[in-house]
Structures are given as C-alpha cells and as structure tokens.
Structure 1
C-alpha cells in the first residue's frame, strides 16, 4: 500500500505539468485570436497578471496563514526577478513573436527552453554534468536534440502535411483587417521567441531559489503575480496610447483575460512552483515540447493553420 501511495505521489508533478502545458495551449490560441481581433497583447498580459493576483491572493491569505515564513528583502527581490524573467518579459516577447508568426511556429521555439535551462542550471551548479553516467549523457543528448529541433523548425519548411479539420474556423469570427504583415517578420518573430526562451529559462533558476527560501506556493505565486501585474501594467501604459483598448465587454477579449489570469497564470504558476520545488527547474522545462504537440493539433483544428514537414 505504501508503494502505491509513493507512486501516486510521484505522479503528481507529472500530472500538474501536463495540466500546465494544456492550459498554456489554450492561452496561445487565445493570444492569436485576441490579436486578430485587434486587441493589444500588452494590455491583455497586464490584465492577465491583474486577474491572476485577484485569483491567488485570497488563496494565499487562507491556506498560508499559519505556515507563511517571514518576508525578507531577498524574497522580494527573487519574486521581482521571477516575475520579470518568468512573467512580464517572456510573455510580451512571446506575444510579439506570435503576432509575426503562427501559434505553432512560435510554440515550436519553446523547445529551446530545456536546453537553455540545462546549460544555465549547470553553470549555477543546480544540475551536474557527468558524461560518465547514462543520466548525464541523456541530458546532453536531449539538450542537443531540443536545440537542433528548434533550429530545424526555424529554418526548414518542407512539404505540407494534410490534416483533418472539424470545420470550425475561429479566425472567421475576428476582424481579418488587423492581421498586419510586417517586413522581416520571418526573422524578427523567431528572434523574439528565442529571447522569450532565454528569459523563461533564467526565471526557473530564480524560482528554484525562491522555493527554498519561501516554500509557500500560494503566497509566492501571489507575490509573483502582483509583481508581474505592476511590471506589465507599467509597460502597457507606457507603450499603448489608445485607452479604448483597456475596455472589456462580454466578448472574446474578456474570456481571454479571464482564462489567462485564472488558468494560465494563477493555477499554472502554483503548480509550476510546486513542481520546481519537488523536481527542480530542469524537470519543469522538459515538458515544453508537449505544448508544441498540443498547439500544432489545436492550431490545425481551430485556426486552420497548415502544418509542414519540419515546420
């Protein structure tokens, strides 16, 4: 009975990471749809962290009221850096890349995160590079495959892969006039996505350290969400001069904001912090390719995106 309980407990991080990737898949599709509808993704991201803060803060006040450790300046700094590199910065970079490319293509570059995370974690001695063991060889091989696959998806476009369709074109419900073709989008888009990967990889290092000093997942998530809301809010206000963009109605924009805040940020970050503390930053990063599979399927079904061999 004890062995069964241990196995179930060991499956929790895996189940949580699968939930996170599925949640991020829905968010990627909503980003693309909201962008096509003319909504500024900078404002959507600012709302995302605002709604995430409103979702997680009451949970933190209730569940961590007896176990919350003392707040220190180091914890505040780690929360700020985690929110910056793991929230506001990579989200804005990824959103900009998503506008210039497709949902599947932008997601494909996220395969770089495990490799970058492994390199950074090895540098900070959070992971050991031991080529004499099978585990060490597997990590290096996986890093090379992940980076090589992301580069292949970036530079190679082969034959079109015929996929099924459920004849539900969500793009048809948004204004096509907002889809702006920018020069050098095929170059700028991948660069922005890769920068987002670097930022996300760095944030996992800060989150791992924060989990050690402040092992309260609800409180740490609430703190990061508040920091992210301030950062994303300041950036959105500074760059977006059209104040009508901040208005929300009973439409796609409101649904995207609610989903982003509650599911893709609030619940996802709680699960993410739990998994980082239990298994480390590298374990979290290796689930990134799962999101590519989910987005490729969902993009083909709901956005009528074409899949190609390689890309």
Structure 2
C-alpha cells in the first residue's frame, strides 16, 4: 500500500498524458467534422469556467487576495497569452497538420521557457559544470528537432493495413498545409513560454491558483468570443462530436488535468511533470498511425526523436536545481515561481 501511495504522482501523470492524447484525437475529429477552432476554444473555456468557478469560490474564499485593477490587467494579458491567442493558433495548426506534429512541438516549450528564463536571469547556467552544458546543449538540440519537423517533411511511411477508426470529413489535400500549420504551432509554443514566465510573477501577487485559473478561462473565453465574432464563424454546434470534444476539453483537460498537474507539481516539482511530456507524443503518433490511419512522415519521426533527446538533456541539467533553491518557507510559496519554471503547456 505504501508503494502505491509513493507512485500516486506517477500514475496521475500517466493518466494526464492519456487525457491529452485523447484530446488530440477528439479535437481533430471535431475539426474534420467542420467545427471552427476559435468556436471550440471559446466554448471549451466557458465550460471550464463553469466547472472551476464553484471550487475556486468556496475553496479559496478565505485566502484569495483582493482583485485590483493592476492584477486584472495582468490576468487579461495572461488570458491572451495562455488561452485566446495561443490556443487559437495551436488548434488551427492541428487543423492544418497532424496530431503527431502538434504533440511533438509541445515538447519544445521547456527549451523556449529555459531561453526566456535565462535572458531574464531567472535561470542560472554554469557553463563550467556538466549540467550547465547539458542545459545549453539540450536547448539547441531540441530547437534543431523543431526546425527538422517544420522544414523537412520527408518520405511518407507506408500504411500497415486499414484504419481501425475512420474520421469522416478528412480531406488531406485541402486541409493539410504543413508549413502554415508548423509556423502557427511554433508561434503558439513561444507565446505559451512567455505565459509561463509571466504567470510566475502574477502568482506572487495573486497566490490563488484555482481563482487565477478560473479568471483566465473566463477572460480568455471572452477574448476568443470577440475574435470568433470578427471572423464570422458559425457558432452552432450539434449533439455530436463537436459537443463531446468541447465538454471533454473543458471538463477533463482545462479542469481535471490542470488540477492534477498542479497537485503533482506541488508534490514533486515542475521537472517531474515535464518528464512525462513525451509520453503523449508517443501515444498520439501510435494512435494516429495505427488506429486512425493518419499519414506519418520521416521528418516527423526524426525531428520528434531529436526533440525528445534535447528535452531529456535539458531536464537532466535541471535535475538538481530544485534542492539548491529550496528555502525554509517553500511551503508558503506559490506552486509556480520564477525559480521553478513550469514547462508544460495546457492544450
């Protein structure tokens, strides 16, 4: 029993990655069915807001600080970077490329955040130590993998048998725009990285994780709604895959998975959480290729492998950062802090 308790964070993170994997597949099916990504982002975060609101209100009503105008402006920018702008680019890229490419690109957030944190002097790099060299080398290798996936498509792997599940509405010739989709997902990873850095500062002034998450979902949904109205997308969704993908994204990903990640991060730290990122990449690639019959290219395999190698070099370099930075009052600090960068993106 004690062994099961000690492995609880590990099991929860595996379940989280399975949740992300299913999200990629379900949302792609919804987009192929005709749902607009901006409508999906808007409705998903409305659902997430409604789910999180009662928990945030009752659980943090005695500890939640006063919401000032300055804090609200920060929340508005955070919502733009972490929800409306980023996720609209992110899910549009999924529509143009494939779940495998998008899942691989998420692994680069660790490297991009590390670069930003180093520039802002939130990350210490000792170039004379093996771990400091590993951080730099891991970042360079990971970004090289991104460039490989973006610029080199390569040969198409031969499909093994027919797809076990067929997603209606797939028109590869029209929908697949590899370069456009790759640029969008890279841009979303950059804005996500900026979001993590800014989030660290905001949480020091507004240390209420559930309330902040609820505010970001609500404001982000409003921002995305404005964008959706401007582009004149169809708002109506039926009682079909569009509804189920929205409910799944809002309740499971923006709600349950976000809470699980926060819990694991508090128990084990952000480095532990990021170690599980490549799992969803592997699961998505396997499901897309063997179950859905999606196209899989040599460039994605090579680039994805290079990204994972770079990621683990970076994580090995950061492995012993946390014990050196711990202070007696760590328990009072917010889960996200400038010294402990959260490298995982919320999709």
- Separation of aligned partners in 2, 1:169 and 1:204: 36
Partner in structure 1 of residue 247 of structure 2: 258
Instruction: Name which of 118, 126, 131 aligns with 1:130.
Output: 126
**Following the alignment from structure 1 to structure 2, what is the Cα–Cα distance between the partners of residues 148 and 292?**
17
Structure 1 residue 192: Cα displacement: 0.8
User: Are 1:115 and 1:146, in contact at CA under 8 Å, matched by a contact in 2?
Assistant: yes
Q: Render the CA deviation track for 1:164-219: whole Å, top value 9, x for unaligned.
A: 67842231xx2346x66269x23211111110110111111122223322222211
State the distance in 2 between where 1:278 and 1:124 align.
Answer: 27
**C-alpha separation in 2, matches of 1:240 and 1:268:** 31
Q: After TM superposition, give the deviation of residue 295 of structure 1 in Å.
A: 1.4
Q: Return 5+ residue gaps in structure 1 as ranges.
A: none
Moved more, 73-82 or 250-259: 73-82
Distance 1:176 1:149, change over 3 A: closer
User: Does the 8 Å contact 1:42/1:92 carry over to 2?
Assistant: yes
Compared CA separation, residues 263 and 276, structure 1 to 2 (3 A): same
Structure-to-structure mapping, 1:1-311, within 5 angstroms: 8=6, 12=9, 17-161=13-157, 167-171=163-167, 174-176=168-170, 181=174, 185-241=177-233, 245-273=234-262, 287-311=276-300
Cα separation, 2, equivalents of 1:294 and 1:163 = 17
Instruction: Work out the CA distance in 1 between the residues paired with 2:36 and 2:203.
Output: 33
Distance 2:99 2:74 in 1: 31
Q: In structure 2, how many angstroms separate the alpha carbons of the residues matched to 1:285 and 1:137?
A: 20
Counterpart CA distance in 2 for 1:231 and 1:308 is 36
Give the length in aligned residue pairs. 299
Stretches of structure 2 lacking an aligned partner (at least 5 in a row):
301-347
Q: In structure 1, what is the Cα distance between the partners aligned to 2:260 and 2:194?
A: 18
Cα distance between partner residues in 2 of 1:15 and 1:128: 31
Q: Cα offset for 1:163? A: 7.1
CA positional deviation for 1:162: 5.9
Residue 101 to residue 205, structure 1, CA distance change in 2 (3 Å): same
Per-residue deviation at 1:104? Answer: 1.1
Going from structure 1 to structure 2, the CA distance change for 1:271 and 1:113 (only over 3 Å counts) comes to same
Task: Give the TM-score normalised by the residue count of structure 1.
Answer: 0.84
Distance 1:272 1:147 in 2: 25
Residue pair 2:151, 2:179 contacting (<8 A) in 1 also: no
Structure 2 length normalisation: TM-score?
Answer: 0.76
- Residues 95, 175 of structure 2: 8 Å contact kept: no
Quick one: structure 1 residues 146 and 248, their matched pair in 2 at CA, closer, same or farther if it must change by over 3 Å? Answer: same
RMSD between aligned residues: 2.9
Give the CA deviation at 1:79. Answer: 2.2
